[in-house]
Amino acid sequence: MNKKLYVGNLSYDTTEERLRSLFSEVGPVDSVAVITDRETGRSKGFGFVEMGTEDAAEAAIERLNDTELDRRTIVVSEARPPRERSERSYGGGGQRRNGGRGGSRGRDEMY
């Protein structure tokens, strides 16, 4: 059974190929994803590696956590399941102050 790992503190120059190569030295790699910004396409400095076996995942954590990759000390740990995103409500109800905008004006001063 495969296991997903979180890889943090990546250099913005680290590629998916580079990560795959590094983790392949430890065991079979099923998938690699470096997370990028939607607008700029630039790396966000973290990614995920899915190892082929649980043993390979444990070995990768032990061998690669706190090691250097592309001039950065990386963090490797078991990935946590994604949090469910809550539905954002933009309806009234008086929960937002100042009309939902920053600033120091009170609600009465805005109108």
pLDDT digits (tens, 9 = 90+) for 82-108: 888 776 655 555 555 555 555 555 555
pLDDT value of residue 111: 45
Q: Are 4 and 80 in contact (CB under 8 A)?
A: no
Residue 93 resides in a domain: no
Residue 84 resides in a domain: no
Residue 23 sits in a domain whose CATH number is 3.30.70.330
pTM as predicted: 0.74
Residues of the domain holding 57: 3-77
DSSP string, 24-91: HTTS-EEEEEEEE-TTT--EEEEEEEEESSHHHHHHHHHHHTT-EETTEE-EEEEPPPPPPPPPPP-S
Residue 59 resides in a domain: yes
pLDDT digits (tens, 9 = 90+) for 16-53: 999 999 999 999 999 999 999 999 999 999 999 999 99
Residue 96 resides in a domain: no
Residue 106 resides in a domain: no
Domain count, the chain: 1
Residue 87 resides in a domain: no
pLDDT value of residue 104: 52
| Segment 42-67 mean pLDDT | 97
